[in-house]
Chains A and B, each alone.
Chain A
Amino acid sequence: MTQPLPSNVIKALSEIVGSEHVITDPDRLLVYESDGLTAYRRSPRAVVLPSSTEELSAVIGLLHKNGIEVIPRGAGTGLSGGALTTLEGVIVGTARMNRILKIDAENRRAIAQPGVINARLTEATHPFGLYYAPDPSSQSTCTLGGNVAENSGGPHCLKYGVTARYVTGLTVVLAGGRIVRLGGLGRDPYITLDLVGLFVGSEGCFGIATEIEIGLLPITEGVRTLLGIFGSVESAGRAVTKIISSGLMPAAVEIVDKPTIQALEASVFAAGYPLEAGAALVIEFDGTEAGLDLDADRAEQCCLDEGAIEVQRATDPEHRMKLWRARKKAFGAMGRIAPDLLVQDATVPRTKLPEVLVGIDDIGNRYGLKIANVFHAGDGNLHPNILFDRQDQAQLKLVERASKEIMQLCVDAGGTITGEHGVGVDKREYMTLVHGPAELEAMAATKRVFDPDSLFNPGKVLPEVEIEGGIDTPEISAIHK
């Protein structure tokens, strides 16, 4: 059972951030029980919401001085349970640190606090002809701090790369509240080791980024969006391989499979995909207007060569948005066909996509489970979504087993256990599928360099770390144990 924070600690926290920003009321704490992976739930002892680097540093200093574990949290949209509290943990949220501190158009960079919402950075830089490229599906709600912690991707990362490519400097708060500046545009990234690159993707286990210097790109002149309809997901997968290996460089290549199409078309996000289709492939090119039709023609031919039933081209911005909305809202649409959804995330070499998709289908059939696939096909990043009903205890066990088999299938194909959602608590047990004891120990030792007493987000990422009281809850064991 979670113990309340001592009153002297609450008082001291209140003095730093103001009492209204220290949440201890159990009803208000409910919101912070889980992140986007709701299978894991636990109420924190308290939530603290600082507004600046200095406040956050003072909060961390106070909590660590009292031996209290800190669980960093952005918008709570993560899908791996990374923001789940430990038994003794206090959540330090960045929601109030939501200011864009600088837009430096001449150097194509911005400096933002971690609580800035991803899409807002693009909105704010749009008048300068610039935008921020990584676009996770949750971009309208997720924060840049969370993106840094998870090294987030998104559909357009095929061409433009993930978060790590764009983070050029960081101000971070480390153990004990120490404020450290790492890197920065205009400084040689190799006057020391790449500490910025190491910090990105550390899932809140090294410290908290409080100022993020981030690279921006010029808005592209034009865009072409195609929708290929295929009889099977395998032929769509082959078309993807053909497009990429032909030398084309699409901005995004996304696949939704038949169960997903049926869920989408029955929802408010319906985009006019034929219900009998086995898979739909969304392909997008961007860049200089003059070259785009040629690229789109070549991609269309690749689709037809691999047996596409039809290929549509978005005729106007509204049509394009409709095609994308269907892809981006696919997870939401699945709520119509099952009460619960386990969103998986794995990456395989692109050429292995067709055989892995057949394997996933086979796993679903063997366990009698419906699995809907939505994925970033261009970079082999799969999201097999297992649909289930948590009230059905027998089915829960099957979900657990099927999920593990899918991970093993992807690893055996030369892939990995997570492409963009992170490990969090959800995938700790799968880490041994891709890393040996020596690699895991090197990761643990690296964490100790930043966080010697393991007071930042303990129990995440690494499988061998045991937490007093455990991090498993009845809700977790419902799926995972």
Chain B
Amino acid sequence: MRGHQAESLFKLLPPEVFSNSVAPRLLDALRTEVKTVVSPRSVEEVARLLKWASEKGVGVVPIGTGEHTYPRYLRGPCIVLTTSRLSDIQDYEPADLTITAGAGALIRDLSTEIAAHGQWLPFDPPDVLNRTLGGLVSSGLSGPLRTGYGPLRNHVLGATIVCGDGRVLRLGGKVVKNVAGFDILKPMVGSRGELAVIASVTVRLFPLPVEDRILVLEANDIAELVATSRAVATAPIMPASIVLDSTVNRARLLVRLHGAATSVDADQVSLEKHTGVSFEAKNIAESEHSFPQEGGRDVSEEFSLRVWVLPSRMEGLLDVLKQAPGVTLNADVYGGSVRVYLSGSVSDAESVLTGLRKDVEELGGTIRMLRMPAEVGGSAYRTNPSADERELAMGLKGVFDPHTVLWGME
């Protein structure tokens, strides 16, 4: 950003929205120079900034807290736009089970507000409480509760977005069934801020389960639990989630059941009969609904990736992962999605990744980096979309960010 550009930027918005403080973790992810951090206080300020950036050809990276930003491959210095000041609850009617809030609202704060009305957001990716609503939507992450509640994308009812050129679009609405026009809200979910800045979101809420029980089965090695986990996934009942986890001391299978106490009792009996094993049952306290299966990791130090395969190929995938040293994992057995954590030196991790991509793709699956040290060249280790998918995605990029202000999409 040249001198006269900076001058015009600082005239554009009041001084209190600018900051030069960037967390090291975010710099690692962005891998480029950050010129300034802007915290707009309104949709109009977001629009003003993006219109300016598109006219000046300056790249902008939108973030929530910045703690979970995906690795980027930017081509020059950028401005970081944080939604932290767009965090108000704009509309909440408990009886409608919907809430509209600014993108910067923390899930922890929203959860506290809605829990007072016996409601919750049934999404449980790691560290969900410390994510923002906009960040969650932008990442598209649902967590293993996708099994019982469906993915996040189906519960995002509306959003106000600001396109790369400053256009403000109000997409969707506040009702759970809405087919009024093409669903251009859908590609915003999971778009990682590469199409538009999400300024506010309307999301569907759910009643807190009367009974929230986790059935636990432990073993020394995750391989001992795979067959049982698949038996649970093909049982005639539908758990809220089925997780295999090796991120804590012992390997664990965690099956979460929701419902009335009597039906949860019956589901447990039915699962134990179907699998031939006895689980240890643990009831979840109200305050722990969000992510009881998370091992309390320090997310800022993770080197992680996400692998998907057909659920029936989970065993094959776990065989592959078993060969790799220093790997721990957290797997959504029903959905076929595995979060893989690497430890050891960067060169060790890179050698694991080299073989892993090939093995995963041979299983028909995909691999994508979530977090990695700045020195790792992550694009080599991820599955690319097909040429057709990529062309269509780039076409959409042209619709919503015609001047390529929101960087990141390769």
Contact = CB atoms under 8 A, between A and B. Distances in A.
Interface of A: 104-108, 129, 150-151, 153, 157, 161-162, 164-165, 178, 180-182, 185-195, 197-198, 200-203, 205-206, 217-219, 221, 241, 244-249, 287-292, 294-295, 347-351, 376, 379-381, 414-423, 427, 431, 434-436, 438-440, 442-443, 445-447, 449-450, 461-462
7 contacts: A107-B336, A189-B190, A191-B382, A193-B190, A218-B235, A248-B207, A349-B175
B189 interface: yes
A439 B169 contact: yes
Contacts of A445: 399
Interface in B307-339: 308-313, 336-337
Q: Which 3 A-B pairs have the closest CB atoms?
A: A291-B263, A197-B186, A449-B395
A435 B180 CA distance: 9
B289 interface: no
B109 interface: no
Contacts of A440: 181
A348 B187 contact: no
Most buried by B among A151, A189, A381: A189
Contacts of B392: 180, 193, 195, 449-450
Given A192-B393, A197-B187, A161 B259 contact: no
Given A192-B393, A435-B180, A186 B313 contact: yes
Contact of A195 (B93, B94, B180, B187): B187
B336 A217 contact: no
A194 B190 contact: yes
B237 A347 contact: no
Nearest to B93: A351
A308 B366 CA distance: 54
Given A349-B98, A449-B395, A423 B180 contact: yes
A161 B208 contact: no
B52 interface: no
B182 A205 contact: yes
B265 A290 contact: yes
A439 to B, nearest CB: 5
A420 B180 CA distance: 9
B183 interface: yes
A443 B190 contact: no
Given A217-B238, A290-B262, 4 more contacts: A287-B259, A415-B175, A445-B399, A446-B399
Given A106-B311, A165-B154, A194-B189, A201 B182 contact: yes
A351 B398 CA distance: 39
B183 A201 contact: yes
B189 A164 contact: no
Nearest to B170: A439
Given A218-B237, A291-B259, A419 B175 contact: yes
B389 A192 contact: yes
A249 to B, nearest CB: 7
A422 B396 contact: no
Given A197-B186, A379-B175, A446-B182, A186 B309 contact: yes
A46 B315 CA distance: 51
B212 to A, nearest CB: 13
B386 interface: yes
B184 interface: yes
A442 B395 CA distance: 12
A434 B177 contact: no
A167 B267 CA distance: 27
B173 interface: yes
B266 A414 contact: no
Interface of B: 93-98, 118, 139-140, 150-151, 153-154, 163, 167-171, 173-184, 186-187, 189-192, 195, 206-208, 210, 234-238, 259-267, 270, 306, 308-313, 336-337, 364-368, 382-386, 388-390, 392-393, 395-396, 398-400
A431 B182 CA distance: 11
B179 A150 contact: yes
Nearest to B270: A288
B265 A200 contact: no
Contacts of A164: 154, 183, 186
Nearest to B235: A218
A436 B266 contact: no
From B182, B309, B385, name the one whose CB has the most chain A CB atoms within 10 angstroms.
B182
Q: Which of B177, B267, B383, B399 has the most CB of A within 10 A?
A: B177
A205 B368 CA distance: 32
Contacts of A203: 182
Nearest to A440: B181
Given A192-B390, A192-B393, A435 B181 contact: yes
A431 B180 CA distance: 7
A46 to B, nearest CB: 27
Contacts of B186: 164, 194, 197-198, 200
B400 A347 contact: no
B256 to A, nearest CB: 15
B180 A188 contact: no
Contact of B260 (A151, A194, A201, A294): A294
A180 B177 contact: no
B175 A197 contact: no
Contacts of B118: 247
A188 B263 contact: no
A113 B182 CA distance: 23
A423 B312 contact: no
Contact of B178 (A246, A347, A427): A347
B306 A188 contact: yes
A248 B313 CA distance: 36
A197 B365 CA distance: 20
A417 B177 CA distance: 10
Contacts of A244: 95, 97
Given A290-B263, A439-B171, A247 B366 contact: no
Contacts of B189: 194, 197
A300 B51 CA distance: 55
B189 to A, nearest CB: 6
B96 A193 contact: no
Contacts of A295: 260
B184 A446 contact: yes
